[in-house]
Amino acid sequence: MKKILVTGGCGYIGAHTVVDLLENGYEVISIDDNSRSGTYLLDGIQKITHTKIKNYKVDLKNFDETRAVFQENEDITGIIHFAAYKAVGESVEQPLLYYENNLFSLINILKCTKEFNIPHFVFSSSCTVYGNPDSIPVTETSAEKKAESPYGATKQMGERIVQDYVKAHESNAILLRYFNPVGAHPTTFIGELPVGKPQNLVPAITQCAIGKIKEMTVYGTDYPTRDGSCIRDYIHVCDIAHAHTLALEFLINKKNTSAVEIFNLGSGNGVTVLEAIHAFEKVSGKKLNYKLGLKRPGDVIAIYANNDLARTALNWNIKYDLDDMMRTAWDWEIKIHKDEELVSTQNHVLN
Ligand code: WQD
């Protein structure tokens, strides 16, 4: 059984990818310092797959502790590197936290990848590398504009670090540029657990709908878009997760024609914030209490993917639509609302 190391395996996209890898016959270990996650999703993985995976609670910024994990697991075939902070707004407020965490972690993982000759590396990148695109939808060769946030800048720098590493050490890597991952596993055993006040749209919607937050704000309604609110490409987290398994197999089966290949992971549909809210209201039957507010620094106006390359080269078939995303997100919010006690004890919760 091929062993895969997933960094950030206790997190939102990481946990969903661990499930997909296990369901596709891989052995999985995780490194996650649980600074923004906990064991709740690990238990959820076990409920879905009946497999308890080992998580090494290690800060990837600590090289010696990270290296020790590789020494204990000499048979790693591939690495999927998720571990990073990812809130656009927070990165604008705390840039050094983002540069230190996201880049030092990546450099340490790549140093171990080199020392232990791990052949396959999948990097969790983001559509934020495109900045405010000149034209949409964006393809993988669209110009990378200046990142609108420090978060986006860490992804642009991260991609460059991976590309330079691969070139120097004759390795292979795939950069996966996620658009907006949302929703939860249909079993409601795993989903998104925002730490503190939700920064992202869909958890803000579901926490507002369940009454955890009194109201939510639409950040900006005078953008040059069809209804004045920002356009994003929402994609179900399970579709994103399966794309990681496909990307790994693409490398293992030597299907890549260059050392580094890049794929957009988006649905290919642009949806405005107000349209997303209305889709949620339709699916949940709940009227959302939201107000129209000021723009959020760091936001791009509109972006969505041309996903032809991932659909053809990786044979990636998207299964979930916007209603599925909103329905699974709502089912998950209801579930963790009931489980609130357990979630707060098992997960790192910042106030
Ligand atoms: C979406 C839209 C907000 C909250 C995310 C991830 C990032 C990357 C790209 C993967 C924006 C608006 C939000 C709220 C709102 N993905 N909004 N009220 O900023 O596109 O970035 O996707 O790497 O990691 O963070 O996502 O959900 O924060 O915002 O109006 O309470 O919703 O202004 O227009 P974003 P988001």
List the chain domain ranges: 3-350
pLDDT for 131 equals 87
Query: In whole angstroms, what is the distance from residue 321 CA to residue 224 CA?
Result: 25
Distance of CA 198 to the CA centre of its chain: 15
**How far away, in angstroms, is 295 Cα from ligand 1 center?**
12
Query: Residue 253: its pLDDT value, please?
Result: 97
DSSP 127: G
Please report the sign of the dihedral spanned by the C-alpha atoms of residue 36, residue 42, residue 43, residue 44.
positive
Confidence at residue 350, expressed as pLDDT on a 0 to 100 scale:
43
CB 274 within 8 A of CB 280: no
- pLDDT(18) > 90: yes
Q: 159 pLDDT exceeds 70?
A: yes
Nearest by Cα to 108 from 57, 156, 69:
69
Q: Is the CB of 200 under 6 A from ligand 1?
A: yes
Beta 231-232 vs 271-272: how paired, if at all? antiparallel
In the block, residue with structure tokens 């656009």: 88
Range 248-277 burial, b when 16+ CB lie within 10 A, else e: bbbbbeeebeeebbbbbbbbbbbbbbbbbb
How far is CA 68 from each of CA 38, 65, 73, 215, rounded to the nearest angstrom? 21, 5, 9, 46
With CA atoms as reference, report the closest residue to 132 among 166, 88, 169: 88
Return the bridge partners of 54, or none. 29
Least confidently predicted of 6-20, 108-122, 137-151, 174-188: 137-151
Please identify, by atom number, the ligand 1 atom nearest to the C-alpha of residue 298: 19
Q: Give, for ligand 1, the residue of 192, 296, 326 to mutate: max count of ligand atoms closer than 8 Å to Cβ.
A: 296
Pairwise CA distance, residues 207 & 333, whole Å: 7
Q: How confident is the model at residue 351 (pLDDT cuts 50, 70, 90)?
A: very low
Cα 267–Cα 204–Cα 243 angle in degrees, nearest 5? 25
Q: Is the CB of 216 under 6 A from ligand 1?
A: yes
Distance, in Å, from the CA atom of 280 to the CA atom of 77, rounded to the nearest integer, reads: 40
Tell me how far apart the alpha carbons of residues 333 and 331 are, in angstroms, rounded to a whole number: 6
Residue whose entry in the numeric block shows the structure tokens 């900045």 = 131
pLDDT tens-digit series, residues 326-336 = 999 999 999 99
Name the residue with the closest Cα to ligand 1, atom 28. Answer: 200
Flag whether pLDDT at 343 surpasses 90: no
**CATH class, range 3-350:** alpha beta
232: nearest Cα among 182, 302, 279: 302
DSSP label at 294?
P
The CA 298 to ligand 1 mean position distance, Å, reads 10
Give the integer Cα–Cα distance in Å for 270 and 289: 23
Read off the pLDDT of each residue in 68-78 and give the average, rounded to a whole number.
96
Strand order in the sheet with 3-7: 54-56, 27-31, 3-7, 76-81, 120-126, 172-178, 260-265
CB count in 10 Å sphere of residue 201: 21
102 lines ligand 1 (CB under 6 A): no
What pLDDT is attached to residue 349?
53
Instruction: Please tell me the residue having the least CA distance from ligand 1 atom 25.
Output: 87
Mutate to test the pocket of ligand 1, among 178, 199, 201 (most ligand atoms within 8 A of CB): 201
Average pLDDT over residues 191-199: 88
What are the b/e assignments for 32-47, b being 16+ CB within 10 Å? bbbebbbbbbbebbbe
Quick check: is 151 catalytic?
Answer: yes
Residue nearest to atom 27 of ligand 1 (CA): 200
Summarize the confidence of residues 203-228 as an average pLDDT: 96
In the chain, what is the greatest distance between 2 CA atoms, to the nearest angstrom? 55
The residue to which tokens 């396959």 are assigned: 120
From the list 151, 223, 234, 304, the catalytic residue is 151
